[in-house]
Amino acid sequence: MDQLEQLSKQELIELVHIFAKNMLALDGVWFQSIETKLGMDEAIEHDQNAWRKYTVIEAKRIKTFLKLPEKPGINGLKKALDFHFNAFLNQTETRITEDTLIYKVIDCRVQTARTRKGMPLHPCKSVGIIEYSYFAKEIDSRFDCETISCFPNITDPTCACCWKFTLRNETKTD
């Protein structure tokens, strides 16, 4: 790890972005391998299984890194989502009300790449609800997550996808 200590702050920031892109590339490469050989339905099933496990690991590490309390509430989820690997790749927007957080991915690199390659859009709603639900519940078990808009059910044309996180029975802990 000595080589990391020798990097400037700007180089470290650039490296984080490279790692995030590499993570997304790995996710896409294995997904497309299954999609090509076994079809979209099989690829989606494996993607769902992978995200059920990965997103919990990622959320635990982010929660530890940010030193969030057991139940950090809406503000804790906002902080954690800011460090979700996708946040370093996609343009996102967050809106907070008293007991909800609306999280929009304005421009999605996955869908942009598939479009650029002439591939059909990724029907990511079923995978996304797993990814974001499990992530939020790991940050604070009181969260419920629902899809507002996500392919193939786009209801908000201003974004690639949109998620609503609701904090149940909130007691002020954040």
Strand pairing partners for 147?
163
Q: Read off the amino acid at residue 9.
A: K
117 or 171, higher pLDDT: 117
Asked if residue 172 is part of any domain, the answer here is: no
174, pLDDT greater than 80: no
- Tell me, what CATH number does 152's domain have? 3.30.1380
Residue 80: Cβ within 10 Å count = 23
Q: 136: domain range?
A: 2-167
User: What integer best gives the mean pLDDT of the chain?
Assistant: 92
Q: Look at residue 106 in the predicted model and tell me its pLDDT.
A: 93
> Rounded to whole angstroms, what are the CA distances from 12 to 15, 34, 132, 155?
5, 33, 27, 38
Q: Provide the number of structural domains found in the chain.
A: 1
Asked if residue 173 is part of any domain, the answer here is: no
Q: Which of 92, 115, 109, 57 is nearest to 163 (CA)?
A: 92
Give the pLDDT band of residue 97 (cuts 50, 70, 90): confident
Residues 54-92 have pLDDT tens digits of: 999 999 999 999 999 999 999 999 999 999 988 888 899
- CA dist 99 and 130 (Å) reads 21
- CA dist 138 and 143 (Å) reads 9
Count, residues in the chain:
174
Residues 1-48 have pLDDT tens digits of: 689 899 999 999 999 999 989 988 998 899 999 999 999 999 999 999
Asked if residue 57 is part of any domain, the answer here is: yes
Q: What is the reported pTM?
A: 0.89
Give Cβ neighbours of residue 61 (< 8 Å, ≥ 6 apart). Answer: none
Asked if residue 145 is part of any domain, the answer here is: yes
Residues 117-170 have pLDDT tens digits of: 998 888 999 999 999 999 999 999 999 999 999 999 999 999 999 999 999 974
- CA dist 86 and 20 (Å) reads 7
Asked if residue 56 is part of any domain, the answer here is: yes
Q: Which two tokens stand for residue 39?
A: 């079809």
Asked if residue 174 is part of any domain, the answer here is: no
Asked if residue 86 is part of any domain, the answer here is: yes
Q: Look at residue 172 in the predicted model and tell me its pLDDT.
A: 52
Give Cβ neighbours of residue 54 (< 8 Å, ≥ 6 apart). Answer: none
Residues 37-59 have pLDDT tens digits of: 999 999 999 999 999 999 999 99
Is residue 99 classed as helix, strand or coil in its secondary structure? coil
What is the radius of gyration, based on Cα positions, of the chain?
Answer: 17
Asked if residue 122 is part of any domain, the answer here is: yes
pLDDT, mean of residues 93-113: 92
Strand pairing partners for 104?
93, 162
